Amino acid sequence: MLNISKNPLNKKVDLSEYSSGKRVFNKSYYKYFNRFLVGFAIFGFIILFLPWTQNISGQGKVTTLTPDQRPQTIQSPIPGSIQKWYVREGDFIKKGDTIIQIAEIKSDYFNPNLVEITQQQRDAKKISAKSYAEKVNAQNVRINALTNEQNLKLEQANNKLAQAKQKVKADSIDLIAARTNMKIAQIKYNRADTLLKEGFVAKKNLEDAAVKLQETQAKETSQEAKLLVSKTEVTNAKLEINRVEQEFRDKISKARSEKFSAKSSQFSSEAEVQKLENDVANYSIRNSLQFIIAPYDAYITTALRGGVGQTFKEGEELVGIIPAEVDLAVETFVKPIDLPLIHPGEKVRVQFDGWPAIVFSGWPNVSYGTYGAEVVAVERFISTNGKFRILLKPDPQDHPWPKEIRAGSGARTIALLEDVPIWFELWRQLNGFPPNFYQPQDASTSKKTKK
């Protein structure tokens, strides 16, 4: 009751002396509840010293261990139109099975005999190149023949020049002899004329000397003409050598020009043959691309282009497939602050969407419905979501993952770190500190060994 009187009763009267007062003031209220609180406090204090496994949690999804096992779409490398479908959505296909048949939409490839026609063009160019090669060989033979003929002609002309020089030499000697004979005849004539004037010889002797002088003069003149003819023959022989050299130089140059022209045509034909060979290979491969085939055993998930006759461009997606057998993995993301605590080979617990689980993040041994995993790879560059991507594979030492899970389903991951007391973990969480810096035992052992 309210204490509003200036003369309080409880200071003048001791209520505890009365029997009812004794019952009220000496009774122990909430005895069992207080015991419960004390017991709970003791139990909570003991729990603070129990071990707690530090962990890093993350959200991810199921994927595959290798890129070639992930869901993909099949594109056509060439433009075309859908001619026929050989599968339905949900069908199982084996490697090499035909999925779609397409038809060409470019007028350059409408001819069904395009490969055969190109092969014929290639064969014709091969024959042309062979003909030019034979022409080159013929020109080589012709050049050799002209060279040999030139050598023979030059040898013949050099022989004529030598003969003409020898004749000039002989005619020069004859001319000197004729001039000597003329001088002797002149001396004899002069002597006969002197003796005739003195009366010692007859006039007939003078006349004989005059005839002899005239004969020697005639021989000298004739010999000079012969010498001039011989010198002319030397000049003609030299001119003949120049003529032969010039003639065969022109003939050999023309033959070489025709040879190089044939070689140029040969190389051009061979280049066209190579181009046609490339065209034949390209056309053959293009014909094979008119059938979209399965790259591996898979299931048809989605037909991205429906109907028959629908056109598409090169590189457009036509159908989605998923491999029949895959090695499942989980990709999860961790914060940059937790990245130094993640190492390849570490153990991780995974909870899959759709599978019931009871999870105690700090006590993995008492959790139910989680599956073991192992860190395979840690991404070296941050993802667009501001976190680092971690790839996990099934732990071979743990029970296998459910066969019913599919790539793309969600997963929650718990990376296990060091064991610490619960009070330390609470203190860390309240202060916002990261988990203890953790190095796996294998890594530390290897470092010690290297040292």
Condensed to tens digits (0 to 9), the pLDDT of residues 239-267 reads 888 988 898 889 889 988 998 998 999 89
For 86-113, where are the alpha helices, taking DSSP H only? Answer: none
Q: How far is CA 103 from each of CA 7, 100, 106, 290, 292, rounded to the nearest angstrom?
A: 113, 10, 9, 6, 11
From the list 268, 174, 184, the residue with the least C-alpha distance to 221 is 174
Rounded CA separation 88/132 (Å): 57
DSSP-derived secondary structure letter, 349: E
φ, ψ of residue 61 in degrees (nearest 5): -150, 165
Asked if 420 contacts 411 with a C-beta cutoff of 8 angstroms, the reply is no
| Straight-line distance from the first to the last Cα atom of the chain, in angstroms, rounded to the nearest whole number | 81
pLDDT top residue among 314 and 354:
314
Answer yes or no: do 133 and 248 share one domain.
Answer: yes
126 part of a folded domain = yes
CATH number for the domain spanning 235: value is: 1.10.287.620
Task: Note the pLDDT of residue 123.
Answer: 92
From the list 162, 327, 341, 147, the residue with the least C-alpha distance to 249 is 147
Q: What percent of the chain has pLDDT over 90?
A: 9
Answer yes or no: do 279 and 400 share one domain.
Answer: no
Pick from 226, 261, 288: which residue ends a domain? 288
Half-sphere CA count of 241, side-chain side, radius 13 A: 14
Predicted confidence band of residue 328 (pLDDT cuts 50, 70, 90) = confident
Helix (H), strand (E) at residue 53 = strand 51-64
pLDDT top residue among 232 and 31:
232
Encode pLDDT of 290-327 as tens digits: 889 998 888 888 888 877 888 888 888 889 888 888 88
202 part of a folded domain = yes
The residues, any chain, with a CB within 8 Å of residue 249's CB and separated by 6 or more, are none
238 part of a folded domain = yes
Tokens 């025709």 identify what position?
258
Mean pLDDT for 364-384 is 78
| pLDDT at 97 exceeding the cut of 80 | yes
Q: How far is CA 246 from each of CA 236, 243, 250, 252, 254, rounded to the nearest angstrom?
A: 15, 5, 6, 10, 12
Mean pLDDT for 166-180 is 84
Mean pLDDT of the chain: 81
Answer yes or no: do 330 and 396 share one domain.
Answer: yes
Secondary structure class of 58 (helix, strand, coil):
strand
Encode pLDDT of 44-79 as tens digits: 888 777 776 666 778 888 888 887 777 888 888 889
The residue segments making up the domain with residue 92 are 72-104+290-323
Answer yes or no: do 278 and 389 share one domain.
Answer: no
Among 6-10, 45-49, 331-335, 397-401, the minimum mean pLDDT is found in 6-10
The predicted model scores a pTM of 0.54
Pick from 304, 323, 342: which residue ends a domain? 323
Answer yes or no: do 157 and 59 share one domain.
Answer: no
pLDDT top residue among 182 and 250:
250
CATH number for the domain spanning 90: value is: 2.40.50.100
Answer yes or no: do 259 and 301 share one domain.
Answer: no
317 part of a folded domain = yes
Rounded CA separation 80/103 (Å): 5
226 part of a folded domain = yes
20 part of a folded domain = no
CATH number for the domain spanning 428: value is: 2.40.30.170
Answer yes or no: do 309 and 354 share one domain.
Answer: no
| pLDDT at 2 exceeding the cut of 60 | no
φ, ψ of residue 114 in degrees (nearest 5): -65, -40
Task: Note the pLDDT of residue 446.
Answer: 37
Task: Note the pLDDT of residue 447.
Answer: 38
24 part of a folded domain = no
Encode pLDDT of 6-26 as tens digits: 666 666 666 666 676 666 666
How many domains in the chain? Answer: 3
The token pair that represents 169 in the structure block: 């030499």
Task: Note the pLDDT of residue 58.
Answer: 82
